[in-house]
Amino acid sequence: MSLTYEERRQTILAQLSIEGKVQVHALAGLFNVSTETIRRDLDRLEKEGRLRKVYGGAVQVRSEWIEPTFIKRSQMFQSEKQAIGKMAASLVKDGETVMLDNGTTTLEIMRHLKDRADVTVITNFVPILTCALEDFQGKIIFAGGEVNMGIQAATGPIAYQLLDQFKVNKAFISAGGISLSDGITEYNVDEALLSRKMMSRTEEAIVVADHSKFGVTTFAHIAPIEQISMIVTDSGCSQEWIDALNRLDVEVLTGEKV
């Protein structure tokens, strides 16, 4: 029995979420329908705003080119980010040095490390520095330089040179998007470059991202998924994504809402 449009629709959207693109001929074979049927399906999904048609198939809609403001990001998925922060902080062992890049999720890690007197944190993110100055019991090192007021973080060659002085146990990297085809991405080139630098100075690169970041590609490339060892996310992450990442030897941990 042939599948209905709604059944095909769910499969097409799921494949888009994981792979970032679909092909007409492959879908026609999968569903055992004509290519004309698939093209009509893609037409309908494009009108719904769920994808963008390209030659031979379709790709995800990439509307995430402009990053929300820090205030707005702080208000989005708050409980999920708190759960991720708690889980990520639990991975930090006594005596370790860690890097935290700029992001509202890495800020939650800092909040959960505040009582750890035996931990050293290196960051280029001003809100993390401010948080640490309030009540952090450990050591904080600010990778300074010219502060980009838009992202509230130090960027540029001075920050680069400072990060080159260190080799750390873990780097926690935030992300604007996670895609199997496009890897780990960020909205801002300067942010992406600093995150990539942190990855090069650590023994273990860990991405922290809530479930809304999966299947999304933003502007600037940080790294392929294969270059990270673990992703810490929330319980909203789908099993399909967890399975896909496990096949790439990337461990996935999910934090439960606080």
Question: What local confidence, expressed as pLDDT, does residue 1 receive?
Answer: 47
**Cα 36 to Cα 197: distance, rounded to the nearest angstrom:** 47
Q: How many CA atoms lie within 13 A of 220 on its CB side?
A: 16
Point out which residues pair with 183 in neighbouring strands.
179
Question: What local confidence, expressed as pLDDT, does residue 163 receive?
Answer: 95
**Position 220, amino acid:** A
pLDDT tens, residue by residue, 140-181: 999 998 898 888 899 889 999 999 999 999 999 999 999 888
**Cα 180 to Cα 241: distance, rounded to the nearest angstrom:** 9
For the chain, the domains span 5-59, 70-255
pLDDT tens, residue by residue, 185-199: 998 898 999 999 999
pLDDT tens, residue by residue, 205-255: 999 999 989 988 888 999 999 999 999 999 989 888 999 999 999 999 998
pLDDT tens, residue by residue, 74-127: 556 788 999 999 999 999 999 999 999 999 999 999 999 999 999 999 999 999
- Residue 63, judged by CB atoms within 10 A of its CB (0-12, 13-18, 19+), counts as exposed
**Cα 194 to Cα 199: distance, rounded to the nearest angstrom:** 9
CATH tag, 70-255: 3.40.50.1360
**Own/partner long-range contacts of 133-142 (Cβ < 8 Å, ≥24 apart):** 136/110, 138/113, 141/166
Of 102, 126, 120, whose CA–CA distance to 193 is shortest? 102
State phi, psi for 65 to the nearest 5 degrees. Answer: -85, -25
CATH tag, 5-59: 1.10.10.10
Question: What local confidence, expressed as pLDDT, does residue 51 receive?
Answer: 83
The DSSP-derived string for 31-94 is HT--HHHHHHHHHHHHHTTS-EEETTEEE----TTSPPPHHHHHHTTHHHHHHHHHHHHHTPPT
**Cα 254 to Cα 205: distance, rounded to the nearest angstrom:** 16
Evaluate if residue 4 carries a pLDDT over 90: no
Question: What local confidence, expressed as pLDDT, does residue 75 receive?
Answer: 59
